[in-house]
Chains A and B, each alone.
Chain A
Amino acid sequence: MRFAAAAMAVAGKDLRCELRGKELLPALAQFVVLSLVIASFAFDLDSSSGPRLSPGILWLVLVFAGLLAFGRTFAAERDTGSLEAMLLTPAGPSAVFAGKALAATVLLVACEAVLLPAMAVFLASPISPAVVATVLLATVGMASLGCLFAALAAQTRARELLLPVLTLPLWIPFVVVGGRAVQVAMSGGGFGAWSPVGQPYAVLLDFDILFLVVTSLAARFVLDD
């Protein structure tokens, strides 16, 4: 109970700071739209090639938007000493990490709320509930991993370089499986793909559970000196 209350307090504080400061969300939205504009010119997309290339473009934009979002999660806190202040409370590093991961997930979902409609506009991608579900499923696992490595990278001087080097290899499973799931969804496959074991959705869910457990166990060692 106390863990949940502390995590919610941290997440609420992060979101409130972001809404007041308006540092990350406008930049992410701008990044997403610009990436799609560039992609639409670079690939010379039309109504037939658009849906075929869309899954790849979606995951590329999502991965780099994620790196931008998670890079800020812990760096600012370390610079101002507020992470230290939080960790000196009895809340514990795991609750602090869970709260920050939750806030980062919400920010990434907000970014996706711009990305998916923009894809429909710029790439003529068919955005179905199955596409949204795939992206949301992947976001949970990506956010927990991204936050863990952001916490680790924030302790170093070369944090901007270290974060992608650490994070991207472990995001590959989400890109591979998520890309496949989005491709299936965009070609008309729906939630029927949920039930059979081994289908992309089930695999994404497994990844989420695995990485949530691993990162919450590792968080205390990363955050607590």
Chain B
Amino acid sequence: MIVVRARGLVQRFGDRVALGPLDLELAAGERLAVLGGNGAGKTTLLRLLATVVRPAAGRLELFGLDATRQRERLRARLGYVGHQLGLYPALTAFENLEFFARLYGLGRGEARTALEVVGLSGAAGRRLEQLSRGQQQRLALARSVLHDPELLILDEPDASLDAEGRDLLATLFEGRSVVMATHDLALARELCGRALLLRSGRDAGHCGRLRPPEDRPRVPRAIGRWGPATEAEGTSPSAWPPAVRIGEARGVSPR
């Protein structure tokens, strides 16, 4: 089953093209790391996929439904954590989750379970402003899986997380399709099977299949060096799996 299918997806801010045109496919259970420098369009892509904003042009389907017209039907199947955590400082960790659980039509039990999953049961009664940034990030992750979504869309979910918190991501990803923006190549390799590289402006970028860490001759230190270290399977676009033919139509070659 194809979870995400984008064709000629474009987003503009005023006259500036922030993303696209971009083609993308993601099958059920696949995990895609979205990589790129600052301003490359990672957050824009994630916000489009999460149905926060509508695309300026192109077509986006999630679970076979039009993501522009049937957003409300889709939202129960999506979990999203953006740059801003979207939590309430005056409420406790549990109250935050309980509130969102009610909006999803769920009860206190689900909120309690989600707190346990992210290891915050001990901090349930503490207000958000009394939690560390990493704990707040965990709480936002708990909110994103509260309703057991099929597709997780996460913008730099590793921000402020400790090693244990990063292990938590692997747990949360189990059995789900994931699109995750990150600057951490090691994390992308560890958690995601595929990568999509975005570049600033109109250049929508290209995609490659990530090699397992043990196969890699060297690890680039900065995102700017990502290109040489990313490789697509096969030598011609036709050899790639359909889901990685990003930019193929525009003649962009994988490195």
Contacts and interface: CB of A to CB of B under 8 A. Distances in A.
Interface of A: 2, 5-6, 9-10, 13, 16-17, 20-21, 80-92, 224-225
A6 B103 contact: yes
A17 B127 CA distance: 11
Contacts of A84: 52, 82, 84, 86
A9 B51 CA distance: 23
27 contacts: A9-B99, A9-B103, A10-B103, A13-B88, A13-B91, A13-B99, A16-B95, A17-B88, A17-B91, A20-B91, A20-B127, A80-B84, A80-B85, A80-B87, A81-B83, A81-B84, A83-B86, A84-B86, A85-B100, A86-B103, A89-B100, A89-B103, A90-B72, A90-B75, A90-B103, A91-B104, A224-B71
A104 to B, nearest CB: 17
A82 B90 CA distance: 13
Nearest to B104: A89
Nearest to A86: B103
Interface residues of B, number: 30
Tell me if A's interface is mostly helix, strand, loop or mixed: helix
Nearest to B140: A85
Interface of B: 50-54, 71-72, 75-76, 78, 80, 82-91, 95, 99-100, 102-105, 127, 143
Given A16-B90, A225-B52, A81 B82 contact: yes
A16 B127 CA distance: 12
A16 B91 contact: yes
Nearest to A12: B99
A177 to B, nearest CB: 36
A17 B52 CA distance: 25
B50 A88 contact: yes
A134 B100 CA distance: 36
Contacts of A224: 71
A54 to B, nearest CB: 36
B52 A88 contact: yes
A13 B89 CA distance: 12
Contacts of A83: 86
A88 B87 contact: no
Contact of B105 (A16, A20, A85, A90): A90
The 4 closest A-B pairs by CB, nearest first: A81-B84, A85-B86, A89-B103, A9-B102
Given A9-B99, A80-B86, A81-B83, 16 more contacts: A5-B102, A9-B102, A13-B88, A13-B99, A17-B91, A21-B90, A81-B84, A81-B85, A81-B86, A82-B88, A84-B52, A84-B86, A88-B50, A88-B51, A88-B78, A89-B75
Nearest to A10: B103
Looking at A9, A20, A85, the one whose CB has the most chain B CB atoms below 10 A away is A85
Looking at B78, B84, B85, the one whose CB has the most chain A CB atoms below 10 A away is B84
Nearest to A91: B103
A217 to B, nearest CB: 16
A90 B76 contact: yes
B54 A88 contact: no
Contacts of B102: 5-6, 9
A13 B95 CA distance: 9
Contacts of A6: 102-103
Contact of B80 (A16, A88, A91, A92): A88
Nearest to A225: B53
Contacts of B72: 90, 92
B52 A90 contact: no
Contacts of A85: 80, 86-87, 100, 143
Contacts of A81: 82-86
Contacts of A17: 88, 90-91
Contacts of A13: 88, 91, 99
A220 B87 CA distance: 22
Contacts of B78: 88
B90 A20 contact: yes
A83 B88 CA distance: 10
Nearest to B50: A88
Nearest to A96: B103
A90 B77 CA distance: 9
A16 B88 CA distance: 11
B104 A90 contact: yes
A49 B103 CA distance: 52
Nearest to A220: B72
